[in-house]
Amino acid sequence: MGSDSDLPVIEKAFKRLKDFGIPFEAHVMSAHRTPERAADFAKKAKNNGFGVIIAAAGMAAHLGGVLAAHTALPVIGIPIKSTLDGLDALLATVQMPPGIPVATVAIDGADNAAILAAQILATSDDALAEKLAVMKADMEYKVMEKDKQLQEKI
């Protein structure tokens, strides 16, 4: 994350990753204040066992792009709402130049970032793919139950 002030948002991703049994690390690094550290982290991420990087940042939100510029791993950006209702972070995260993609979720969308990371990792992990299938089936069941309750009321 770009700042420790992002932690309340990112904790949703931590919870989801733990629920899936996906090991993870979390660090504070800045695209602007610690650019060498961010670049070094990204360059070494694959050799250090990472399969996906999730980058959360607000305001200028260049962390995802800096990390993506230094790795071939998928990078998922979470724009953090800080100024301009998070639109500045959203645009800085999603508007990347050709060759430096950053998959971007909604403003403060940490839960979806973790789910997307799980989906990427599940392409080569059948057990994780099954956990995702169970999660999706549970979501479907909950919606069907809500519809059933609505039908009973009308």
pTM of the model: 0.94
pLDDT digit string, tens, across residues 106-144: 999 999 999 999 999 999 999 999 999 999 999 999 999
The pair of three-digit structure tokens given for residue 146, joined into one six-digit string: 């809500």
Give the residue from 41, 50, 44, 107 showing the smallest Cα distance to 80. Answer: 107
pLDDT, tens digit, 9 for 90 and up, residues 33-69: 999 999 999 999 999 999 999 999 999 899 999 999 9
Q: Domain boundaries in the chain?
A: 4-123, 126-154
CATH placement of domain 4-123 = 3.40.50.1970
Beta bridge pairs of residue 58? 80
CA–CA distance, 54 with 132 (Å, rounded to integer): 18
> CA 66, CA 33: separation in Å to the nearest integer?
12
